[in-house]
Chains A and B, each alone.
Chain A
Amino acid sequence: MNAELQYEISRFYYQEAYLLDSRKFEEWLELLTDDIRYRMPMRITRENKDGSNILEDMSYFEESKKSLTTRVKRLRTTSAWAEDPAPRTRHLVTNIVIEDGSTEDSLVVRSSFLFLRSRAGDSEMEQLCGERLDVLRKVNNQWKIAARKIIPDQAVLGVMNLSMFL
C-alpha cells in the first residue's frame, strides 16, 4: 500500500470530521460530488444462515446532493429545533482502509466511525457507531466523496434522531 496515499486519505477524513463538528456544513457540501449517492441502509438482526444483516430495501438516509443541500439549508433556519441550540458533536473516524486504489482518480475506502453527541445540559452522550463505505473521486485535483454508504451497528438506533451528517 502506498503510505503517502493512506496519509492523504486519512487527512481528508479528519478534515471532513472537523468541518462537520465545527458546523461548517456548507464547506462539507463542497467535499461531495454533484452526483453523490449518500445512503444509510438499516442494520437488522438475522440468523447467520440467512445471510446479510444489512437491509438495503429500507434506509435512514437516501440522499442526493440536492437533498443534502436542503438539509443544510434547513439547519440554517431559525427553527430547526433538533439542532438549535446546537448539540456538540464529535465524529471519530478510524480503521481507514483503502480497499481499491486501482485507478488514479477513484478509490474505494472503508472506515469505522464513532459519533458522539452532547445535547443541552444532558451529561449522557448519545452515540452511534458503524462502518462507512465510500467511493472517492478526484475532481480538479481534489478528492471528493462520490458515494457513501453508512451502516450503523445497531438494529434499534440509540439516538433520538438523525439530525446530523455521518
Chain B
Amino acid sequence: MKVKSRFDRTFDRELLQEIKEKLDQGLLPQWLQTDPDIYELEVKHIFSRTWQFLGHESELKQPGDYVTRWMVNDPVLLVKTNSGEIKAFLNSCTHRGTHLCTADFGNKKTFTCPFHGWSFNLDGKLIGIVAGNKVYGEAMDKEEWSLRPIPRVEVYEGLIFGNLDPQAMPLQEYLGGLKWYWDIFLKRSDGGMEVRGMPQRWIVNTNWKCTLENFGGDPYHVPSVHKSTVEMGISPSDPLYSSYGHQVVLEHGHCVNVNVASPGAKQTPYQGLPEEMWPMFERNLTKEQLEIFYKTTVIVGSCFPNLSFHCPIHGSEGHLHNYLTLRVWRPLGPEKIEIWSWFLIDKAAPEELKENAYKGYISSFGPSGTLEMDDTEIWARVVQASKGTMARDRHLSYNNLYNYMMGMGKVEPDTSWPGPGTAYPTCYVDFAFRGIHKYWLELLSQGVE
C-alpha cells in the first residue's frame, strides 16, 4: 500500500490558488519559507527571469577593470571594455566550462583559462588558442567561441543589473516607481554615489525571502530586535518610533519605507548631511522629492528579488552619519544565503564626512554592526523553526500560517502622497510583504502546470 505523507502534496495550480487565497486574507503558509521544491522553482522561475544587481559603476574605473559576481549559481565576470562599456559574461571558459577568473577584482587585458590556455579579450572574444591551427585546423571559427554574455545588462544611475532572460522587460520598466525613491539618494549629489572598497561578504543560515522582507517592509521589528540600542539610549523608547512615515508598495514586488522623526522630536534636515551640500540637493531633485528628503530619517526597502537598500542615519561614538548600503541576498539553498554588503557615500561629500560615515556604517551594519548582528541571529531563528513537520505541512493542518495582517482593513492609502506607488501613512503595516509575495506567486505560477 502506498502511504502518502503530508509533504507529498503536489505543487500544482490548486495549491497555488490556496496560497493566493491565504495571502488575500493576510496569511502566508509557513511551509513556503524553506521548502526545497519551492526553492527549485524560485531558482528556475524567479532568479532566471528577474533583474539582479551585479555591481556599481564606481567599482569599474579603468578599461580592463573587472569584478566577479554571482547570479545565484551562475558565476559572472563584469568588465569595463576599452571603449568604456560595461559587459557581463558567464565566468566560464567556452572550451570546457572552467571557472575562468576566480579573483574578486583586478585589471586585465585578457582572461586566460588555466585548463587549456584559451584566452579572451575584454569584449569576451576568443583571441588565443594554444596550438590553434595545428590542432583545430582552419575550420574552427573563433568567433563562435566567445565568452557567453549575460543575456541582458542594463544600468540605472550607476547600478548595474543583469538578467538571464533575453525577453525580460527593460530594467527601467522593471524598476518602475522605485526609481523615484532611489533618485533621492542616487541623484541627490553631483556625481552620484560611489562604492568604498569592496562588498563585505558573509554567510547566514536563513532564506533569501526572510532578508528581503526584513529590509522591504519590516520597521515593526526595529524596537524589539534592536532593543539593545533603546536600552543604550541610542534609539527612542517610544515603541512606535520606526512607524512614523510612509510604507510604499510598488510594482514587481518592490517596496520602500520612508521614515521620519517621531512627532515632536528634533528634525535633522536632509539626513544630517552638511549644509554645504544642500544647494546640490535642491538642484538635482524635484520639488516633491526634496520635500520628502528634507524630513526623512531612513529610506529602506527592497528591489525584488534579492536586492535591498538602506539609507539611514546611524553612527558610532555619539556621532550620527548618513550613508547608503546595498545588499544582495544570494541564495545558497533554501536555508542559506551569502550576504553581499556594499558601502556607498556621495562622491561629492567632504572627505571628513566620507570617513565618519564609513565608521558609522561599520559600527552599525555589516557583520560586526551592533544593529545587524542581532538581525542575523533572528533571521536564522526563523529558518531554524520553520523546517519541521508542523511548519512544512502543505495541507496547513497545523494552522502553520504566518500573520501578515497588520494594517489590513484598518489603514487606508494616503492619496496626498506625492511619490509613485501606493503609500500608507505608517510603516507598521504588512502591505509591502503582501506586495512581495503577490509578485513572487505570480512568477512562480508561470512555471507551474
A residues near B, CB below 8 A? 40, 42, 44-47, 50, 55, 57-64, 66-67, 70-71, 73-74, 77-82, 155-163
Give chain B residues whose Cβ lies under 8 Å from the Cβ of A62: 358-359, 362-363
Q: What are 15 pairs between A and B in contact, CB < 8 Å?
A: A45-B104, A46-B104, A46-B106, A58-B198, A62-B358, A70-B316, A74-B229, A77-B231, A78-B231, A79-B224, A81-B374, A82-B377, A157-B367, A161-B368, A162-B368
Give chain B residues whose Cβ lies under 8 Å from the Cβ of A155: 104, 201
The yes or no answer to B343 lying at the interface (CB within 8 A) is yes
| Contact status B196-A58, CB under 8 Å | yes
Partner of B376, one of A58, A60, A63, A82: A82
Give chain A residues whose Cβ lies under 8 Å from the Cβ of B378: 81
| Contact status B362-A60, CB under 8 Å | yes
| Contact status A82-B374, CB under 8 Å | yes
Give chain A residues whose Cβ lies under 8 Å from the Cβ of B104: 44-46, 155
Q: Nearest residue in A to B318 (C-beta to C-beta)?
A: A66
Tell me the B376-399 residues at the A interface (CB within 8 Å).
376-378, 380
Q: Which segment of B118-126, B145-153, B202-210, B439-447 sits at the interface?
A: B202-210
Bound CA span A40–B202, Å: 14
Q: Nearest residue in B to A79 (C-beta to C-beta)?
A: B227
Given contact pairs A50-B103, A70-B232, A160-B380, enumerate 17 new A-B contacts (beta carbons under 8 Å).
A40-B368, A46-B104, A50-B106, A62-B358, A67-B316, A78-B227, A80-B228, A81-B228, A82-B376, A155-B201, A156-B338, A157-B203, A158-B203, A159-B367, A160-B377, A161-B204, A163-B373
**A77 with B201, Cβ < 8 A, contacts A50-B103, A70-B317, A161-B367 known:** no
Residue from A40, A73, A160 with most neighbouring chain B CB atoms (10 Å): A160
| Contact status B363-A157, CB under 8 Å | no
Bound CA span A33–B105, Å: 37
Bound CA span A47–B103, Å: 6
Give chain A residues whose Cβ lies under 8 Å from the Cβ of B370: 70-71, 74
| Contact status A64-B317, CB under 8 Å | yes
Residue from A40, A55, A157, A158 with most neighbouring chain B CB atoms (10 Å): A157
Give chain B residues whose Cβ lies under 8 Å from the Cβ of A80: 228, 374
Bound CA span A117–B197, Å: 28
The yes or no answer to B102 lying at the interface (CB within 8 A) is yes
Partner of A42, one of B200, B203, B228: B200
Give chain A residues whose Cβ lies under 8 Å from the Cβ of B312: none
Partner of B203, one of A46, A63, A67, A159: A159
Report the interface size for chain B: residues with CB under 8 A from the other chain: 42
The yes or no answer to B366 lying at the interface (CB within 8 A) is yes
Partner of B202, one of A57, A64, A66, A160: A160
Task: Tell me, rounded to whole Å, the shortest Cβ–Cβ distance linking B236 to chain A.
Answer: 15
Task: Tell me, rounded to whole Å, the shortest Cβ–Cβ distance linking B206 to chain A.
Answer: 9
Bound CA span A47–B106, Å: 8
The yes or no answer to B225 lying at the interface (CB within 8 A) is yes
| Contact status B317-A66, CB under 8 Å | yes
| Contact status B232-A160, CB under 8 Å | no
Bound CA span A57–B107, Å: 18
Q: Nearest residue in A to B316 (C-beta to C-beta)?
A: A67
Tell me the B310-355 residues at the A interface (CB within 8 Å).
316-317, 338, 343
Partner of B105, one of A46, A77, A81, A162: A46
Give chain B residues whose Cβ lies under 8 Å from the Cβ of A158: 202-203
The yes or no answer to B372 lying at the interface (CB within 8 A) is yes
Give chain B residues whose Cβ lies under 8 Å from the Cβ of A82: 373-374, 376-377
| Contact status A45-B103, CB under 8 Å | yes
Partner of B103, one of A46, A64, A156: A46
| Contact status B228-A162, CB under 8 Å | no
- Per CB-CB distance, the 4 closest pairs between chain A and chain B, nearest first, are A58-B197, A79-B227, A162-B368, A161-B373
| Contact status A44-B373, CB under 8 Å | no
| Contact status B368-A44, CB under 8 Å | no
Give chain A residues whose Cβ lies under 8 Å from the Cβ of B198: 42, 44, 55, 57-58
Bound CA span A74–B228, Å: 6
Give chain A residues whose Cβ lies under 8 Å from the Cβ of B377: 81-82, 160-161
Give chain B residues whose Cβ lies under 8 Å from the Cβ of A45: 102-104
Bound CA span A57–B358, Å: 10
| Contact status B205-A160, CB under 8 Å | yes
Bound CA span A44–B104, Å: 7
Give chain A residues whose Cβ lies under 8 Å from the Cβ of B225: 81
Task: Tell me, rounded to whole Å, the shortest Cβ–Cβ distance linking A158 to chain B.
Answer: 6
Task: Tell me, rounded to whole Å, the shortest Cβ–Cβ distance linking B148 to chain A.
Answer: 22
Give chain B residues whose Cβ lies under 8 Å from the Cβ of A157: 200-203, 367
Give chain B residues whose Cβ lies under 8 Å from the Cβ of A162: 367-368, 373
Task: Tell me, rounded to whole Å, the shortest Cβ–Cβ distance linking B381 to chain A.
Answer: 9
Give chain A residues whose Cβ lies under 8 Å from the Cβ of B107: 50
Bound CA span A155–B367, Å: 13
Bound CA span A68–B367, Å: 15
Give chain A residues whose Cβ lies under 8 Å from the Cβ of B200: 42, 58, 60, 157
Bound CA span A80–B363, Å: 15
**A161 with B203, Cβ < 8 A, contacts A77-B228, A81-B225 known:** no
Tell me the B220-243 residues at the A interface (CB within 8 Å).
224-225, 227-232
Partner of B204, one of A44, A59, A64, A160: A160
Contact with A along B102-146 (1 / 0, CB 8 A): 111111000000000000000000000000000000000000000
